[in-house]
Amino acid sequence: MGLIIAYILFLLNLLSIIPTMYPLYIWKLVTTGSVRRLGDRLLLKVGEAWIENNYRISRMLYGVQFEVVGDAYKDLKQDGRYMIICNHQSWSDIYIIQSVLNRKIPLIRFFIKDSLKYVPILGHAWLALDFPFVKRSSREQLKKNPELATKDLENVKKVCEKFAGMPFSILNFLEGHRRTPERVQKLLKKNPYQHLLRPHSGGISVVSTALKNSIDAFIDLTIVYPTENPSFLHLMQGKIRKLKVFVDVIPVSQVPIEENEQFAPMSKKMKRWVDERWALKDTLIEKEKQTK
């Protein structure tokens, strides 16, 4: 019964943005200059309210609490420019990250497959809020035509141009996939981590290089769930009520961003940095597991 109530409330919250989102989106499409920027700001307020209401639903139904650990958390700025990296275990990760950082930093955006722009309501909301849509070639397409890889990278760079010179927060899940038992077993021999999957540094390197003159800091989040193999369904059922989110804010001067766009996809120094961060995450999660 609780799951049904949660589903209805989340759905009603999503539907509640329609009366404000669509008129503001049309306003944005037909205006320019300062008038359009006002529409953008109002749309951001709609997005932030939607995120806040989602969190309120979880607290009301189940008393969900996210414990945030990290001294730098209080110094985050809503007009800052941030790259966010995080471990990825469940679809609930995005919900948790948005809830923890909502109204602490600019509205969090993440790269979305181009085909998802046609999803009812959510797809339109992502478009209205300037989420970056990208077309990615499949592995089979890249095998047939390797030049598509270059085209994909150019597409990512072009998408990044809209964020230069404005407050932004871009989220990257470097593992590329959720950490499911099946995937862990499949990658067992190739994975050096106990609680994580091996991260990929190419995407974050390309985006960082494209925005190297605009980034204030990197936010490294580590989500530690109280149970193994969490799911968004578990969260909606109230089976996950407390968890920890460790926040580490790293000044951009301490991140080895590749200067040359040509070398960014295969940057060795960025790969070493990412691997070091993941080793720290793995140790942190293990320590938390041992203390329970």
Contact 67, 90 (CB under 8 A): no
- pLDDT for 101 beyond 90: yes
Q: Tens digits of per-residue pLDDT, 243-269?
A: 999 999 999 999 999 998 888 888 999
Give the amino acid at 173.
F
The predicted pLDDT at position 257 comes to 95
Mean pLDDT of 25-41: 92
Q: In a 3-state reduction of DSSP, which class is residue 165?
A: coil
The predicted pLDDT at position 181 comes to 60
Q: In a 3-state reduction of DSSP, which class is residue 199?
A: coil
Q: Report in angstroms the alpha-carbon separations of 261 from 205, 220, 245, 253.
A: 9, 23, 33, 18
Domains of the chain: 66-291 (3.40.1130)
| Residues in Cβ contact with 237 at an 8 Å cutoff, skipping those fewer than 6 apart | 2, 3, 6
CA terminus-to-terminus distance, the chain: 30
Q: How confident is the model at residue 187 (pLDDT cuts 50, 70, 90)?
A: low
Scan for tokens 């593992």, then name that residue.
175
The predicted pLDDT at position 178 comes to 59
| Residues in Cβ contact with 41 at an 8 Å cutoff, skipping those fewer than 6 apart | none
Scan for tokens 């995407």, then name that residue.
203
Contact 57, 13 (CB under 8 A): yes
Q: Which two tokens stand for residue 145?
A: 């035509």
Q: How confident is the model at residue 165 (pLDDT cuts 50, 70, 90)?
A: confident
- pLDDT for 15 beyond 60: yes
User: Which 8-state DSSP code applies to residue 194?
Assistant: S
Higher pLDDT, residue 238 or 224:
224
| Residues in Cβ contact with 245 at an 8 Å cutoff, skipping those fewer than 6 apart | 66, 67, 68, 69, 96, 97, 100, 221, 222, 223, 224
Q: Tens digits of per-residue pLDDT, 53-94?
A: 999 998 888 888 899 999 999 999 999 999 999 999 888 899
What are the start-end ranges of the H helices in the chain?
2-16, 18-30, 33-62, 92-101, 122-128, 139-144, 147-160, 181-186, 202-210, 232-236, 268-290
- pLDDT for 146 beyond 70: no
Tell me the C-alpha distance between 236 and 269, whole Å: 40
Higher pLDDT, residue 30 or 176:
30
The predicted pLDDT at position 271 comes to 95
Mean pLDDT of 131-139: 70
pTM: 0.88
Scan for tokens 């941030």, then name that residue.
82
Which range is least confidently modeled, 78-92, 152-166, 211-225? 152-166
DSSP E strand boundaries for 61-132: 65-69, 81-86, 108-110, 112-113
